[in-house]
Amino acid sequence: MYLSLAFGIIPYTFSLFVIVNAPSVNDITVPAVITVIDPSFLLPVLLFALVIVLLYYIWCLRKQITYINRTGKDVKDARLNMISNISQEVRTPLNAIIGFSEQLSYTALDCNQRELLGAVENAAGMLMQIQQNIQELGWLQKGELHLDTYPFSPYKIFDTVTRQLSSRAYNKRLQFEITYEGDQQLEVTGDGDRLTRILACLVENAIKYTDAGSVHCHMQVEKQASGNIQVSIQVRDTGSGITPERLPYIFDQYMYNGTPVTGTLHGAGLGLALVRALVELHNGQLTVESTPGKGSCFSCSLSYQPLPPPQTIIVTQQELSQTTGQLMKDRYILVADDQEMNLALMDRILTRWQCRFDKASDGVAAYELFVCNNYDMVLLDLQMPRMTGVEVVKRIREDKEPTKAHIPVLALTADTTMPANQEFIDAGFDDYLLKPFREKDIYNVIIRHLRPLINIPH
C-alpha cells in the first residue's frame, strides 16, 4: 500500500490526487482521485448564481403584477360599465315617472291628490339626482367629465335653487337665510347646470345635517380685474359638525359604506365627492371649516366669462316674454321612440302645446312618415328596432329635397355616451336631450332650432 500526491495546474484549483492501493483486479491497481477546489473561486460563482435567482424572482413578480394590474383594470372597467349601463336603463322609466307626474299636475286635483303627487315628484327628483351623481362620477373615473359652455344667469340659478330647497328647511323648522350680492341681470358663459348641482348639493347637505338653528346660503358675483366674473358660494349651518378625524375623508367617494352609527344620517357618499370634482374642473377649490357641535361652513369660488350686454338683454327679454309651449302651436312634429310610455308622454306634451304630430315606434316607420309628410321638426330616439335613430337621420340628410334634408332633427336618448360619439355628430343631429327631462327642458331645446312658421308647406 502506498500514497502518491500530485499538484494540479488548473487555475483557481488546488488538486490533491490520492492514489490508494486498492484490491487489485487482474493485478491492476485502481486509484482514487480527490480534487479540492480553491475557496476563493466559490464566492463569484455563488454571487452569480444568486443574481440569476433574484432575476428569476423579479421576472415572476413582474408577471404577477402585470396580471394583477390587467385583471384589476378589467374589473374596474367592468364595474364602471355596469354602473353606467344600470344608470342608463334607469333613465327611461324615470323619464316616464317625472314626465307623467308633471302632466298630472296640470289636471284638476283635490288637495289630497296634489299632496300625494307632490310626494311622488319629490321622490322622483331624489332618484334623478342620485342617478345623475352616479353617471357623472362614472364619467369622472373614466376621465370623461367635461364642462359645457352656454349663457346663463347666476342669480336665476341662485333664486331657483334656494326657492326649491326653502320648503325642506321650513319643514324642519330651520331658519333659512339667503343673501345675493351682485348684478341680478348679469349673464355669463359657462356650465350653469354644474353650478346648479354644486349649490344644490351644498345647501341640501346643510339642511339634511342640521336639526336645529339655521342654514345660511350666500352668493357673491363680482367682476375681477382680468375681466372674468367670479362667483363665490358660502353655505353655513348650525348642524352637528364634523369631527377632525372624519374631516379629511368627507370628499371621498362612498365614505358612508360600512357599519352605520346609531343616531347619524347617511347618504350614498357621492354628493361631496362630485361637488369637489366639479369645482376643480372650474379650476377652483372647495374648502370646509367645521366645529363638532357648532356647525360647518363650505366655500368655493368659480370663474366664468362675461356675456356681452346686448346679448344679455336679448336673452332676458325672450325668456320673460315666452311661456312653455307658446311657440309650438300649429307646428307639425314627428316623434319616434320604441318605448310606448315615452310616446304617450310626448303625446300629452305636444297636445298641450296644440301641435300636430305623428308617432312611430321604430326607425323604418319613422322614415316612411318623414318621406310622406313635411314636418317642422323630427324627434328621434337613438336605440330603435329595424332602423336606429342614427340611420334615420342619415337618410333624412340625404333627401333630394333641400328643405326636407335640412329639417331640424333632435335626439331624445337615455344613452349618455352617444352625444359625444363621433358617429352621432357625423350623422347630422342638430341637438339632443338626455332622459329624463321635464316639459320646459324639451321646449327650450326645441325652440333653439325651430324655423319660422311662415312659408312652411304641409
Residues 388-414 have pLDDT tens digits of 888 999 999 998 898 898 999 998 887
Q: Rounded CA gap, 399 and 406, in Å?
A: 9
Cell 308622454 belongs to residue: 345
* Residue 343 belongs to a domain: yes
**Are residues 77 and 29 part of one domain?**
no
Domain ends where: 142, 161, 177? 142
Q: Rounded CA gap, 435 and 378, in Å?
A: 17
**Are residues 286 and 335 part of one domain?**
no
Q: At CA 242, angle to CA 240 and CA 245, rounded to 5? A: 145
Q: In this structure, are residues 336 and 382 in contact, taking their beta carbons and an 8 Å threshold?
A: no
Q: Within 10 A of 302 (CB to CB), how many other CB atoms are there?
A: 23
**Are residues 56 and 27 part of one domain?**
no
Core vs surface per residue 153-192: b (16+ CB within 10 A) or e: bbbbbbeebbeebbebbeeeebebebebebeeebbbbbbb
Q: Rounded CA gap, 104 and 33, in Å?
A: 107
Q: Domain range for residue 346?
A: 322-449
Q: Rounded CA gap, 128 and 96, in Å?
A: 12
Q: What is the pLDDT along the chain (458 residues), one digit of tens a residue?
A: 444 444 444 444 444 444 445 455 455 555 544 454 555 555 566 666 666 766 776 777 677 776 666 665 566 666 666 666 776 777 778 888 888 888 888 888 888 888 888 888 878 877 877 777 777 777 777 777 788 888 899 999 999 999 989 988 998 999 999 999 999 989 999 999 889 989 999 999 899 889 999 999 999 999 888 889 999 999 999 998 888 888 888 877 544 434 444 344 444 446 788 888 889 989 998 999 998 989 999 999 999 998 875 544 343 434 433 456 677 888 999 999 988 888 999 999 999 899 999 999 999 999 999 999 999 999 998 888 889 888 999 999 998 898 898 999 998 887 766 555 566 777 788 888 888 888 888 888 888 888 876 544 44
Q: In this structure, are residues 427 and 393 in contact, taking their beta carbons and an 8 Å threshold?
A: yes
* Residue 457 belongs to a domain: no
**Are residues 297 and 337 part of one domain?**
no
Q: Within 10 A of 416 (CB to CB), how many other CB atoms are there?
A: 19
* Residue 455 belongs to a domain: no
Core vs surface per residue 253-267: b (16+ CB within 10 A) or e: bebeeeeeeeeeeee
**Are residues 292 and 326 part of one domain?**
no
| CATH code of the domain containing 398 | 3.40.50.2300
Q: Alpha helices of 143-235 — where are they, by DSSP H?
A: 154-171, 192-208
* Residue 317 belongs to a domain: no
What pLDDT is attached to residue 413?
A: 81
Q: In this structure, are residues 360 and 334 in contact, taking their beta carbons and an 8 Å threshold?
A: yes
Residues 410-458 have pLDDT tens digits of 988 877 665 555 667 777 888 888 888 888 888 888 888 888 765 444 4
* Residue 361 belongs to a domain: yes
What pLDDT is attached to residue 358?
A: 94
Q: Rounded CA gap, 259 and 270, in Å?
A: 17
Length reported for the chain: 458
**Are residues 138 and 57 part of one domain?**
yes
**Are residues 155 and 138 part of one domain?**
no
Q: Rounded CA gap, 92 and 127, in Å?
A: 12
CA distances from 216 to 175, 297, 298 (A): 8, 9, 11
Which three cell numbers mark 214? 339655521
* Residue 91 belongs to a domain: yes
**Are residues 339 and 280 part of one domain?**
no
- For CA atoms 431, 316, 150, 273, the dihedral sign is negative
Choose among 352, 344, 345, 347: nearest CA to 326.
352
**Are residues 336 and 244 part of one domain?**
no
Give the count of domains, the chain.
4
What pLDDT is attached to residue 18?
A: 45
**Are residues 14 and 55 part of one domain?**
no
**Are residues 179 and 87 part of one domain?**
no
| CATH code of the domain containing 222 | 3.30.565.10
| CATH code of the domain containing 112 | 1.10.287
Domain ends where: 311, 332, 365? 311
- Residue 95's Cβ-side half-sphere holds a number of Cα atoms within 13 Å equal to 27
Helix 389-397 vs helix 363-372: angle between axes, to the nearest 10 degrees? 20
* Residue 316 belongs to a domain: no
Cell 352621432 belongs to residue: 424
Domain ends where: 122, 142, 162? 142
Q: Rounded CA gap, 110 and 275, in Å?
A: 39
The answer to whether the predicted template modeling score (pTM) of the entire model surpasses 0.95 is: no
Q: Alpha helices of 14-110 — where are they, by DSSP H?
A: 42-105
What pLDDT is attached to residue 356?
A: 92
**Are residues 283 and 164 part of one domain?**
yes
* Residue 454 belongs to a domain: no
